[in-house]
Chain A
Amino acid sequence: MRGLRQASNSPDGRGLVSLYQLQKFLYALNRDEASKRRCRDNIHELLNDFDLSDEERTALIEGDIGLLYVLGVNGQILMHFAAFLGIEWFDYLELMRQGIRKHGPVRAGVYAMTGGGERFTAEERAR
């Protein structure tokens, strides 16, 4: 079961190391006001503190929620980054769905798609 095995997107486990760094960046950002200020001022400089792949760096710089989800970022970390970017809740959910359509299934981490990214709430369908 891929989620519990913390599936890696690379045979040598590089994906796991990188996902750890990616999530660590977001974890630090979510809970530290100084990091948030640094991120707003110069995200490129802040990212230098972390060992990230080019794809991950680009996803963070561009605020690509869909790709970050596909790369395996835990939603309990990712939803705060979305809020930091001013992304509304339903848009956050839709951006993850778009990411799956564009990039394919979640590549690493605890998540695997189990419901196809459908809309489940009447409130959301009514929008």
Chain B
Amino acid sequence: MSLVYVGVLSHAPGITGRADLVKNVAVRNEFYEKLDQQRQEIETAKPDALVVVAAEHFANFFMSNMPAFCIGIGAQHTGPIEDPQWLKIPATTVPGHADLGRRLCTEIMQSVDLAYAEEWKLDHGIMVPLHFLTPRYDLPVIPVNINCQGPPLTPLHRAWAFGQALKRACAAVPERVAVVGTGGISHWPATPDSGKINAKWDLEFLHRLGRADKKALLSYTDEATYREGGQGAFEIRTYIAAAAAAGGPLRLQFYTEKLPIFAVGCTVGRFDIR
């Protein structure tokens, strides 16, 4: 078993970019502490690479050619695409793992039609997690995107299949691989409703992850998700892929809806790997 860590965490540009506007400083600091704990857990697992399963935000792809899944197999990646002053994360180059990425891609393609990219621009969806999880940018990163943004969206059951394929691919390589899924649950980012969070809906989704309840996780329709969780909730695909990769239940380490300035409920969790 070369899968040594699987977890989830929220991403949003406000988590770094609007940190100084937070009124609820104690909760913000607790969130940051949990992210640092996640960093420590990943480091303790001694991975050779970190696979970040994220959501496309038009950093690399547009509706001219939108893959359902894509993996970054370049030797390095650059980011953020956003104004560094706005995101409050300096522009940097992040090491990739071209050889491992290519082997994972090859294996995943046995069961899932996966696009690949040797050039990858990192946006806040990956840069914010990396800012907390590998702040020195010294851990090779293999980015993965799922189309959670531009309908027709990647079906949930395909996100699950992708996670299972990722698990099989990791088992076929000698390297130690850590995986995080990163997305929001309910949120309405970058719209007039930015800051709205449906905590009840979020917690129900997290409970389903906590039960490793595949049937319940895959039962959401896009219509209901949009109605209850906003367009940002389409990013549950990243959590579902991580759940399938882990195979075990989520142990929720942190959740709050009390940082709406971040425009997302803030989640940190780790899966049991089975």
**Which residues in A have some Cβ–Cβ distance to B below 8 Å?**
1, 3-4, 6, 20, 23-24, 27, 30-31, 69, 74-80, 83, 89, 93, 96-97, 100, 110-111, 113-124, 126
Contact A100 B192 (CB under 8 A): yes
What CA separation (Å) do A20 and B192 show in the bound complex? Answer: 21
CA distance A52 to B193 in the complex (A): 28
> Is B247 in contact with chain A by the CB < 8 A criterion?
no
Tell me the smallest distance from the CB of B256 to a CB of chain A, in Å: 14
User: Which residues of B are found within 8 Å of A24, using beta-carbon distances?
Assistant: 62-64
Q: Report how far A1 CA is from B64 CA in the complex, Å.
A: 23
Asked if B151 contacts A69 (CB within 8 A), the reply is no
Q: Given A74-B190, A111-B191, A118-B193, 10 more contacts at CB 8 Å?
A: A4-B223, A23-B62, A69-B192, A74-B149, A76-B189, A80-B82, A89-B17, A113-B192, A123-B22, A123-B260
Shortest C-beta distance, B91 to chain A (Å), equals 12
Q: Which of A20, A93, A119 contacts B63, CB < 8 Å?
A: A20
| B260 close to A122 (CB less than 8 A) | yes
Give the tally of cross-chain contacts (CB within 8 A).
Answer: 102
Residue pair B226, A120 in contact (C-beta under 8 Å): no
Measured between alpha carbons, how far is A74 from B151 in the docked complex, in Å?
A: 12
Any A CB within 8 A of the CB of B39: no
Q: Are A3 and B226 in contact (CB under 8 A)?
A: yes
Q: Is there an interface contact between B261 and A121, defined as CB atoms closer than 8 Å?
A: yes
Question: B191 — which chain A residues lie within 8 A by C-beta?
Answer: 69, 75, 96, 111
Q: Is B34 in the interface zone, CB < 8 Å from A?
A: no
Q: Which of B219-251 contact A (CB under 8 A)?
A: 222-223, 226-227, 230-231
Instruction: Give the distance to chain B from A88, nearest Cβ to Cβ, in Å.
Output: 10
Instruction: List the interface of chain B (C-beta within 8 A of A).
Output: 17-18, 21-24, 57-59, 62-64, 81-83, 86, 121, 149-151, 188-197, 222-223, 226-227, 230-231, 260-261
Give the most central of A6, A115, A119, A124: most B CB within 10 Å.
Answer: A115
- Which residues from chain B contact A20 at a C-beta distance below 8 Å? 63
Chain B residues within 8 Å of A117, by CB:
192-193
A4→B226 contact, CB < 8 A: yes
A-B contact pairs, 14 of them (CB 8 A): A1-B223, A3-B231, A4-B222, A24-B63, A76-B149, A110-B149, A111-B191, A115-B193, A115-B196, A118-B193, A119-B195, A122-B261, A123-B261, A124-B195
Q: Which A residue's beta carbon lies closest to that of B86?
A: A83
Contact B195 A121 (CB under 8 A): yes
Give the nearest-CB partner of B262 in chain A. A121
